Chains A and B, each alone.
Chain A
Amino acid sequence: MNGEAVVFWVFSIVTVASAAVVVLSRTLIYSAFALLFTFFGVAGLYVLLGADFLAATQLLVYVGGILVLLLFGVMLTHKIYDLDLRTETAQFAPGLIVAVGLFVILSATAVRTRWMDLPRPPAPTTREIGRLFLGQYLLPFEAASVLLLVALMGAAMIVRRRRDA
């Protein structure tokens, strides 16, 4: 087992195990912290895949932004002194069957399909991605700014106390 394999297995197990905790844990706070590890694990996988810019973005936005937002959401929707943040689970068995079935089908598809074979040796990506943002993918780049404007306005409008029009 070479170094790459060891790192891969470590990150993969961290990711999948913590994802399992997110989904199976009864306590919302445990799930939130497990999600933190999932995001870190995924960032580690990105580094292994040579996606340095993306790994940094994942940490900054997902961990630093989205997870913090989720934690606020968890905290603000429970009484502070109520530490037993338990949530019940709906019918578990049918969901489990569907999920396992999906996993089998998707893994089988992943293994059987002949994917395109044009490997890209790992290299720093930031400059190239920057070029793509302002070149080929300029329109989505600009459209994303409209999306963010709408989301910003929308979230702020929904949350603020009602004021007169």
Chain B
Amino acid sequence: MEELLRSLALFKPETALVAGLLLVVIADSIGAAWRNAAMRLLTLASLAVALGLAFNLQASGAKASIFSGMLVVDPLGAAFKVILVAAGLLTVLVFTFRNSRELHGLGQGELMALVLALVLSCLLLAASSDLVILYLALEMVSITSYVMVAYLKGDRMSNEASLKYVLFGAASTGSMLYGLSFLYGMTGTTSLPAIQAFLAGGVPEANRFGIYAITLLVLAGFGFKIAAVPFHFWCPDVYQGAATPVTALLSVLPKAAGLAIALRFFYGTFSAPGMSPWDLEGSINWTALLMVISVLTMTLGNVAALTQTNMKRLLAYSSIAHAGYLLMGVVALSENGARGLLVYLAAYLFMNLGAFLVVTLVHLHDGSFDLRDYAGLHRRAPLLTVAMAFFLLSLVGIPPFVGFLGKLYVFAAVIEKGMGVYATIAAVNAAIAAYYYFRVLKVMTIDSGNEDKPVLRLAAADRAWLVAFALANLLPIFFWGQVEAWARGALVLYAGR
């Protein structure tokens, strides 16, 4: 009982979300006219409270293993929680059922409940310390995502996308499960710290192949969540088929949670004892393996994006490429790498949400996701164009935007580890990426066309959000000190029982 109370004390953000989820489900069953507004308010309140509690958790620097070793609480995990909850909160705030044409006429209650469930599952995943909760949380994230993508059930493309998503996802996580079962058999326990202790004692030669098999199978599951090559095939179709607010959410949340657990799993479990978690067991060349995946991912993402004309698909490939850059933080295998990952994720959150907001607003007014219909937008919606310019430049990684800050951190971490070639490849990739980001900007500002279309009248709330996100992309570099302090405070990875 004391264990339970102690655990709950460190479980507050998740508790807030569970309470919100239950209240939203109850509210949805009431037939009153005000129920949509009430549910939205409940969701926002729950997310805001959870965000505050997550900040508290990070500030408190708590390090503990809770719920009988199922979850682990540490500053690094708390930092991820802050990012995850912030992503959920911002998405619900910014994308309403009014400014997204795709969501018109659909039930709101379920979507609000699903968002809360998704954020909750991501929090559980990012803190997992046991194989059972790891698998369960991963599947919770997945299944919630499947349902959210299938939300536009009247739309055939959306249904096809969600079907592909389900089948691909179930296969990937099923394969991962097979790998996890081997890990259980090799060590006799489902607890990650115990597995780490066991493996650190030395892996007999006969088991080396088994470890390789486990790694590859587990990477199937993680790779699927992060949309890394070769498990990215579902990504463009799903991003295109889902409602844009859902896409915005899925572009950040599962990716961040997947990266958090990949970091924790590989470094927490396969690290040597007595040393910092960043020193890995020498049996596998993790660095090389992850580096290959990272390079393939960013290259494929960037190259495929070059020819896209559908904005949602373009952003899908763009986000695959960014997963490649994010993996640099994981490959760098150090405190700086983890810090780079955090900063990049925070930057990515603002860049991506901003870009998706623009896409949603254009769709709301023009009904199109096609890039060619973006021509001449600088005349019709100057504020929108300027904001989009900020987001695009940030995505390229140009100073002084926050995207540059993120890239700076991961590049620095990688170079510090002596991986010059890797950094060069990544830099070349960023240059290639610049082409398609600038192309969008060019179409919006320089291309002529659509002269007959009316001026876009944006709602005040939408304008405010565009300005807010644009500033969020521009200002952090002037507060470098604060960003640094926040990331530095998060660098404790607790791998104990």
CB within 8 Å of B: which residues of A?
A: 105-106, 108-109, 112-116, 118, 135-140, 143-144, 146-147, 149-151, 153-155, 157-158, 162-165
Contacts of B151 in A (CB 8 A): 157
In the complex the two chains form, is B204's CB within 8 Å of A164's CB?
A: no
Closest CB in chain A relative to B160 CB, distance in Å: 14
Say yes or no: is B68 at the interface (Cβ < 8 Å to chain A). Answer: yes
Contacts of A135 in B (CB 8 A): 68
Contacts of B213 in A (CB 8 A): 105-106, 109
- Residue on A nearest B134 in the bound complex, by CB: A140
Write the B116-136 contact mask toward A (1 if CB under 8 angstroms, else 0): 010011001000001011001
In the complex the two chains form, is A154's CB within 8 Å of B143's CB?
A: yes
Contacts of B136 in A (CB 8 A): 140, 143-144, 147
- The segment from B84-92, B100-108, B230-238, B475-483 that touches chain A is B100-108
Contacts of A115 in B (CB 8 A): 185-186
In the complex the two chains form, is B147's CB within 8 Å of A158's CB?
A: yes
* Cα-based distance from A15 to B185 in the complex (angstroms): 22
In the complex the two chains form, is B150's CB within 8 Å of A147's CB?
A: no
Contacts of A116 in B (CB 8 A): 185-188
* Cα-based distance from A27 to B47 in the complex (angstroms): 49
In the complex the two chains form, is A157's CB within 8 Å of B186's CB?
A: no
* Cα-based distance from A164 to B69 in the complex (angstroms): 45
* Cα-based distance from A106 to B70 in the complex (angstroms): 29
Closest CB in chain A relative to B261 CB, distance in Å: 15
Asked if A153 meets B36 with Cβ closer than 8 Å, knowing A109-B182, A158-B150, the reply is no
Contacts of A144 in B (CB 8 A): 136
Contacts of B97 in A (CB 8 A): 165
Say yes or no: is B139 at the interface (Cβ < 8 Å to chain A). Answer: yes
Contacts of A118 in B (CB 8 A): 188
Say yes or no: is B386 at the interface (Cβ < 8 Å to chain A). Answer: no
List the 6 closest pairs (A to B, CB-CB), nearest first: A154-B147, A116-B188, A113-B210, A139-B67, A139-B70, A136-B68
Write the B36-72 contact mask toward A (1 if CB under 8 angstroms, else 0): 1000000000000000000000000000000111110
Q: List 15 A-B contacts (CB under 8 A).
A: A109-B182, A109-B210, A112-B210, A116-B188, A118-B188, A137-B70, A139-B70, A140-B70, A143-B121, A150-B113, A150-B147, A153-B114, A157-B110, A162-B154, A163-B107
Closest CB in chain B relative to A128 CB, distance in Å: 15
* Cα-based distance from A86 to B237 in the complex (angstroms): 27
* Cα-based distance from A139 to B114 in the complex (angstroms): 20
In the complex the two chains form, is B25's CB within 8 Å of A149's CB?
A: yes
Asked if A164 meets B143 with Cβ closer than 8 Å, knowing A143-B124, A146-B117, the reply is no
Contacts of B110 in A (CB 8 A): 153-154, 157
* Cα-based distance from A31 to B70 in the complex (angstroms): 38
CB within 8 Å of A: which residues of B?
A: 4, 18, 21, 25, 36, 67-71, 97, 105-108, 110, 113-114, 117, 120-121, 124, 130, 132-133, 136-137, 139-140, 143-144, 146-147, 150-151, 153-154, 182, 185-188, 204, 206-207, 209-210, 213
- Residue on B nearest A116 in the bound complex, by CB: B188
Identify which of A112, A149, A158 contacts B209 (C-beta below 8 A).
A112
In the complex the two chains form, is B188's CB within 8 Å of A143's CB?
A: no
In the complex the two chains form, is B143's CB within 8 Å of A157's CB?
A: no
Asked if A112 meets B206 with Cβ closer than 8 Å, knowing A165-B105, A165-B108, the reply is yes
In the complex the two chains form, is A162's CB within 8 Å of B117's CB?
A: no
Asked if A146 meets B209 with Cβ closer than 8 Å, knowing A114-B204, A116-B188, A158-B153, the reply is no
Contacts of A164 in B (CB 8 A): 105
* Cα-based distance from A151 to B213 in the complex (angstroms): 31
Asked if A146 meets B150 with Cβ closer than 8 Å, knowing A114-B206, A114-B207, A157-B107, the reply is no
* Cα-based distance from A3 to B266 in the complex (angstroms): 44
* Cα-based distance from A150 to B141 in the complex (angstroms): 10
Closest CB in chain A relative to B321 CB, distance in Å: 28
- Residue on A nearest B103 in the bound complex, by CB: A165
In the complex the two chains form, is A150's CB within 8 Å of B117's CB?
A: yes
Identify which of B113, B140, B182, B206 contacts A153 (C-beta below 8 A).
B113
Contacts of A154 in B (CB 8 A): 110, 114, 143-144, 146-147, 150
Contacts of B108 in A (CB 8 A): 165
* Cα-based distance from A113 to B207 in the complex (angstroms): 5
- Residue on B nearest A151 in the bound complex, by CB: B143
* Cα-based distance from A7 to B68 in the complex (angstroms): 38
Closest CB in chain B relative to A50 CB, distance in Å: 16
Q: A113-B209, A158-B150 are in contact. List 20 more A-B contacts (CB 8 A).
A: A109-B182, A112-B210, A113-B182, A113-B210, A114-B207, A115-B185, A116-B185, A135-B68, A136-B69, A137-B70, A137-B132, A138-B4, A140-B133, A146-B21, A147-B140, A150-B143, A151-B147, A154-B143, A157-B107, A165-B36
